[in-house]
């Protein structure tokens, strides 16, 4: 069956998006349908049900555009309420993981990040270690957000050990939450890149997304959750064991850390590397090692890391 859909009283680029990004995101959900857009006409060739559904989704996007300044590929994802587009297979490491709040696709930026993405779909527990700036935590949170959107998990839990990097939390003003929020800010920053502010606030309020210090994990059983332990180099072996044994049914755990940035009073107390050694070889657990070459921040960061590492070796 063939049909031509005509966009009336609206500029096609507002629906197609810059570089046709929005239209391409929509087309990913119709792999067996041929869709060609020219000007204000969209020619669709496929089965009757798919064409009817596609036309309905186009009309929904037009209605959305009337109530917001710009559309993004995220608006397409919302319409499908967790269905996976054909372009996201859960296997390819270079596929789009999730779309950011600005519509920009978030995908692995180097081969090690791709390895981490693949490992996530093949294992229930992942360790990702390596220097700052390699995107370990960012990729982990992107995978968690994707799992939540696709209804693979019921909630996301992000945690860090409350160890100060050269500062003392007790001297910060406010109650416990006020003291901890700045420390957990990197996690909030990543979430804000991927979930619109209003929706993120709702998730935080109803407990769908939880951010808490590691001590709050004790005694819990975490079912159908994607749980991320960040800055794990600042845990001792007992704390790491406590965290890992929180894993419940249908859960995914990701542990990230940098063994060169231990903030514990005695660096030898760090349990990250010891823990990895203890459980290596167990099926269902993967360890991804990032290197300086994987740093994705400003090019100067690579040089800074190398300079400090050289000084540390000399000492």
Task: Provide the whole-model pTM.
Answer: 0.69
- Return the closest-CA partner of residue 215 out of 238, 233, 188, 247: 238
Tens-digit pLDDT profile for residues 21-79 = 888 888 888 888 899 998 989 999 988 888 899 999 999 898 888 877 778 777 787 77
Asked if residue 171 has pLDDT above 70, the reply is no
- Return the closest-CA partner of residue 226 out of 103, 105, 97, 109: 97
Q: Which two tokens stand for residue 283?
A: 């099926």
- Per-residue pLDDT, averaged over 222-227, amounts to 94
The pLDDT of residue 165: 42
Q: Which residues contact 264 (CB under 8 A, 6 or more apart)?
A: 163, 234, 236, 270
Asked if residue 13 has pLDDT above 50, the reply is yes
Residue 183: count of CB within 10 angstroms of its CB: 19
Tens-digit pLDDT profile for residues 78-117 = 777 655 555 444 545 557 788 888 777 888 889 999 999 9
Separation of first and last alpha carbons in the chain: 73
166 falls in which pLDDT band (50, 70, 90)?
Answer: very low
Asked if residue 185 has pLDDT above 90, the reply is no
The pLDDT of residue 139: 95
Residue 313: count of CB within 10 angstroms of its CB: 7
Q: Could you give the C-alpha distances from 88 to 92, 153, 236, 296, 301, in angstroms and in order? A: 8, 17, 37, 23, 31
């Amino acid at each position: 069956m063939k049909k031509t859909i005509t966009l009336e009283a609206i500029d096609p680029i507002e629906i197609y998006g810059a570089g046709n990004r929005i239209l391409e995101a929509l087309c990913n959900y119709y792999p067996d349908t041929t869709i060609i857009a020219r000007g204000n006409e969209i020619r669709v060739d496929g089965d009757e049900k798919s064409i009817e559904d596609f036309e309905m989704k186009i009309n929904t996007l037009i209605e959305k555009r009337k109530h917001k300044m710009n559309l993004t590929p995220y608006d397409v994802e919302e319409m499908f309420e967790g269905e996976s587009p054909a372009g996201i297979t859960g296997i390819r490491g270079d596929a789009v993981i999730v779309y950011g709040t600005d519509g920009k696709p978030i995908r692995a930026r180097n081969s090690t990040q791709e390895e981490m993405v693949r490992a996530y779909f093949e294992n229930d527990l992942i360790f990702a270690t390596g220097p700052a700036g390699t995107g370990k935590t960012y990729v982990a949170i992107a995978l968690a957000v994707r799992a939540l959107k696709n209804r693979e998990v019921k909630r996301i839990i992000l945690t860090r050990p409350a160890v100060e990097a050269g500062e003392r939390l007790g001297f910060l003003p406010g109650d416990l939450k006020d003291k901890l929020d700045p420390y957990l800010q990197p996690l909030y920053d990543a979430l804000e890149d991927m979930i619109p502010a209003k929706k993120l606030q709702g998730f935080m309020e109803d407990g769908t997304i939880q951010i808490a210090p590691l001590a709050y994990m004790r005694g819990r059983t975490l079912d159908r959750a994607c749980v991320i332990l960040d800055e794990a180099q600042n845990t001792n072996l007992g704390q790491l064991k406590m965290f890992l044994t929180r894993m419940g049914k249908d859960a995914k755990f990701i542990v990230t850390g940098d063994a060169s940035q231990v903030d514990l009073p005695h660096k030898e107390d760090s349990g990250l590397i010891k823990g990895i050694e203890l459980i290596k070889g167990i099926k269902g657990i993967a360890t991804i090692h990032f290197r300086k070459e994987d740093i994705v921040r400003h090019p100067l960061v690579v040089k800074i890391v190398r300079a400090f590492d050289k000084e540390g070796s000399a000492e």
